[in-house]
Amino acid sequence: MTFSLDLFSNAIVSGILLGGFYCAIAVGITIVFGMLDIVNIAHPAFIMTGGFIAYFANTQFGIDPLAACAIAMIPAYYLGRLLYRFYNVAFEKRGEESLQGLAFFFGLLFIIEVALLLIFGVDYRFVEAPYIGPTIEIGFISIPWRLLIPLIVGLGLVLVIIAFLSRTFIGKAILAVSQDPLALRLVGGSPVKVKEVAFGLSIATAILAGALLIIIQPIEPSFGRDFIGRVFCITVLGGMTSLPGTIVASMILGVSESLTSTFLGPSWSPAIAFGLLLITLAVRPVGIFGR
Amino acid sequence: MGNSLSIENVSAGYGSVTVLSDVSVHAGDGETVVLLGTNGNGKTTLMRCITGQVVPSRGTIVAEIDGERHNLIGLSTEEIVDLGISLVPEGRRLFPRLTVEENLTLGAYRQSARERIAASMDFCFEVFPRLKERRTQLAGSMSGGEQQMLALARALMASPKILLIDEPSVGLAPILVARMIDKIAELKTALGLTVMMAEQNFEQAARIANRGYVLVHGQVAFAADSVDDLRNSDVVRRLYLGVG
Ligand SMILES: Nc1ncnc2c1ncn2[C@@H]1O[C@H](COP(=O)(O)OP(=O)(O)OP(=O)(O)O)[C@@H](O)[C@H]1O
Ligand SMILES: [Mg+2]
Rounded to the nearest 5°, which phi and psi values hold at B63? -115, 140
pLDDT above 90 (res B215): yes
A97-111, B6-20, B86-100: which has the minimum mean pLDDT? A97-111
Q: Return the pLDDT at B149.
A: 95
Average pLDDT of chain A, as a whole number: 94
Q: A70: pLDDT confidence band, cut at 50, 70 and 90?
A: very high
For A193: left if phi > 0, alpha if psi spans -120 to 50, otherwise beta; the answer is alpha
Q: Return the pLDDT at B102.
A: 98
- Whether B23 and B218 have beta carbons less than 8 Å apart is answered as yes
- Identify the burial level of B12 via C-beta atoms within 10 angstroms of its C-beta, where 0-12 means exposed, 13-18 middle and 19 or more buried: buried
Q: A46 or A273, which is more confident?
A: A46
What span, in angstroms and rounded, lies between the C-alpha atoms of B161 and B155?
11
ipTM surpasses cut 0.90: yes
Q: Return the pLDDT at B234.
A: 85
Which of A 182-221 lie inside 8 A of B, CB atoms? 182-190
What span, in angstroms and rounded, lies between the C-alpha atoms of A226 and A187?
42
Closest-CA residue, ligand 1 atom 29, reads B40
Rounded to the nearest 5°, which phi and psi values hold at B220? -75, 110
What span, in angstroms and rounded, lies between the C-alpha atoms of A44 and A219?
13
Q: Taking the domain B1-84+162-244, which CATH number applies? A: 3.40.50.300
Which of A174, A186, A197, A241 has the most B C-beta neighbours within 10 Å, making it the best mutation to test the interface with B?
A186
Q: Tell me how close the Cα of A245 comes to any Cα of chain B, in angstroms.
A: 15
Q: Which residues contact B170 (CB under 8 A, 6 or more apart)?
A: B90, B148
In the three-class reduction of DSSP (H, G, I as helix; E, B as strand; rest coil), residue A93 is classed as coil
Ligand 1 in reach of B193 Cβ (< 6 A): no
- Whether B233 and B214 have beta carbons less than 8 Å apart is answered as yes
State how far the alpha carbon of B18 is from the alpha carbons of A269, B8, B15, B90, B223, in Å: 59, 16, 8, 20, 21
What span, in angstroms and rounded, lies between the C-alpha atoms of B50 and B168?
18
**Where are chain A's structural domains?**
21-223
Choose the closest CB to A187 out of B96, B97, B107.
B107
Choose the closest CB to A183 out of B95, B108, B114.
B95
pTM of the predicted model, to two decimals? Answer: 0.95
**Where are chain B's structural domains?**
1-84+162-244, 92-159
Q: Is A132 on the interface with B (CB under 8 A)?
A: no
| pLDDT single digits (tens) A199-214 | 999 999 999 999 999 9
A1-5, A174-178, B72-76: which has the minimum mean pLDDT? A1-5
- Whether A248 and A155 have beta carbons less than 8 Å apart is answered as no
What span, in angstroms and rounded, lies between the C-alpha atoms of B50 and B54?
8
* CA angle, residues A253, A255, A256, in degrees to nearest 5: 65
Q: A2: pLDDT confidence band, cut at 50, 70 and 90?
A: low
| pLDDT single digits (tens) B143-153 | 999 999 999 99
